[in-house]
Amino acid sequence: MTALFQQLPSVDKFLKTPEGEMLLTEFGHSAVVRELRQLLSEGREFIKQHQNLPYFFADHLSTLHYLQERLTQQNHVQIKSVHNLTGTVLHTNLGRALWAESAQQAALHAMKGNVALEYDLEEGKRSHRDNYISELLTQLTGAEAACIVNNNAAAVLLMLATFAKDKEVIISRGELIEIGGAFRIPDIMAQAGCKLVEVGTTNRTHLKDYRQAINENTAFLMKVHCSNYHISGFTASVSEQELVDLGREFDIPVITDLGSGALIDLSQYDLPNEPTVQEKVAQGVNLVSFSGDKLLGGTQAGIIVGKKEWIAQLQAHPLKRVLRCDKVILAGLEATLRLYLQPEKLIETLPTLYLLTQSIDVLQEKAEQLKACLANRLKDYHVEIEESFAQIGSGSQPMATIPSFAVTIAEKTEVKLTALLAIFKALEQPIIGRVEKGKIWLDLRSVADFKALLDTVEKL
C-alpha cells in the first residue's frame, strides 16, 4: 500500500509541468491547488479502501483531464435551464413565469449600467424607486397608487404590520390557506403582530359572522382568494363588495390577498375565470395585494395597490426597506406591465399567455415532431401521443384543466423508466416531465422553447 501512496503526484511537481502551468493560467493558483489537494485526499481514501489506485491517478493525462473537468464544473451555475414538460405552465419549482423579451432586455440594461432608480430626471433630485411602476399600475388598475415588495407573502406581511399591529383582523375560517413550503396565513399574521379572528366555518361563512366579530380593536376585514384549493358542495362565502359595504358602515377598511394577480379577463381566451385586480379596486377594496410572477407573467414581486394615503404609510414603514426589490426586478416588472398597455398583443408578447392559449392543433403537431425524434432514439420503449390535461399552476385554478397533448413513454419494467428519467435529468438542459399511469408524460403545453427541446433530444 505504501508503494501506491508514493505513486500519487506531489502538488508542487504537478504544478511545474506544462499541463499544470496551463491549468494555473486558465483557472488561477488558488482554485487549482485547492482542487488538486482535494483530489489527492480522495485518492488516499480510495487506496485505503481498495488497495488500488483510482482511475484518475492511473497516469498523468488521466489526472490532468479529471482535474480540468472538476475545475470547469466549478464555473457552471447549478440553477440550470430545464425543459418544462410537466404540463404545469406556472411551475413553482421550475421558476414560475417566463419573462417577456422586453422584460429580459430591461433587466439586462439595468444590470449593465446605472439607471435612474431613485432619481427624478426632470426635477434633478431624489425620487422613490416605486414611482414608475406606481404610475403604470394606476393606469392599468384604476387604483390611486402602488407599492412593490419582493413577493406576495411580503406584501401581506407589510399590510398587516403597518395597519394591524396589536389589533384584530377578521377572516373567514375557509380562507386560512397554506401556500407552498407550509407557509400559512395565520403565521404571517402572527409575525405581523396582529390577532387572527376566525369567523364562519370551513365551508360556509356569512356576512353576519363578520358583523358579530367587529369590535373597537378591529383593524381589517380581510379576504384571501383561495386559488390553490377548491371547496364544492354545501358552501357559502362573502364577496369583497359585501365586505366593503359592511366596512363602510363601521369605518373599517377591507384588504384582499388576490394571489395570482390577473390583470385581464382570462375567460376571453376560453381559460378558467380568475378575479381581476381591477374588479377589486372598483368594488372599493382599500388594499389589494397580488403576485408579479404568476398570472401577471412577470418577475417575482409582491404588488399592493390602493388608496394613496394607505400606500404612503406602507412606503414609510421600516419593513418596506427590508422587503423592497432591486433595480433588475423593478426594470423587468415595469417592462412586463407596459405590455398590458397593448392588451390585444399580449398573446404574442407575454410568454405565459402564449403558452396557455396555444391551439390544440399546434400542440398535436409539436407532439408528432417530438415523438418522431424520440422514437428514433428510444427503440426499446413504447413512444405514443396521447391527449393530456395541462394546468395553469402556482395555485391558480387547481381544479381546472386545459386540453393538451403529450408524448408518453412506456416500458414493461419500472427500472427502465426510472433509468430513462435519470438520463433526461442528466442532459445539458434537463427534460422534466411527469410520471402517471406507469408512463412518462411529456406535455407540450408548458414547453418554453420547442426548437431547443428538439435540439436537446438530438443529443440523447
pLDDT, residue 93, reads 92
**Ordered DSSP codes for 403-428:** EEEEEEEE-SSHHHHHHHHHHHHHSS
Task: Kindly state the greatest CA–CA separation across the chain.
Answer: 90
Say which residue, 301 or 78, is predicted with more confidence.
301
Distance CA 141, CA 282 (A): 9
* pLDDT category of residue 65 using cuts at 50, 70 and 90: very high
Evaluate if residue 398 carries a pLDDT over 70: no
Exposed e or buried b per residue across 258-271, where buried means at least 16 C-beta atoms within 10 angstroms of its C-beta: bbbbbbbebeeeeb
Distance CA 395, CA 153 (A): 14
The owner of cell 506544462 is 18
Average pLDDT over residues 320-332: 96
Kindly list the distances between the CA atom of residue 452 and the CA atoms of 116, 416, 433, 449, in Å, as whole numbers in the listed order: 36, 25, 16, 5
Query: Closest Cα partner for 271 from 366, 396, 367, 406?
Result: 396
pLDDT, residue 227, reads 58
Neighbours of 73 (CB within 10 A): 10
pLDDT, residue 203, reads 82
Task: Yes or no: say if 223 and 240 are a contact pair by the CB < 8 Å rule.
Answer: yes
Average pLDDT over residues 286-293: 96
**Ordered DSSP codes for 255-308:** EEEEET-B-S-GGGGTPPP--BHHHHHHTT-SEEEEESSSTT-SSS-EEEEE-H
Average pLDDT over residues 398-424: 88
pLDDT tens-digit map of 100-114: 999 999 999 999 999
Evaluate if residue 334 carries a pLDDT over 90: yes
pLDDT, residue 395, reads 61
Residues β-bridged to residue 388: 404
Distance CA 214, CA 247 (A): 10
Query: Closest Cα partner for 91 from 303, 355, 302?
Result: 355
- Of 47-56, 229-238, 348-357, give the lowest mean pLDDT range: 229-238
pLDDT tens-digit map of 135-176: 999 999 999 999 999 999 999 999 999 999 999 999 998 877
Distance CA 41, CA 46 (A): 9
Instruction: Indicate the pTM of the whole model.
Output: 0.88
Evaluate if residue 315 carries a pLDDT over 80: yes
Percentage of the chain exceeding pLDDT 90 = 71
Say which residue, 310 or 184, is predicted with more confidence.
310
pLDDT tens-digit map of 16-48: 999 899 999 999 999 999 999 999 999 999 999
pLDDT, residue 401, reads 86
Distance CA 224, CA 155 (A): 13
Evaluate if residue 229 carries a pLDDT over 70: no
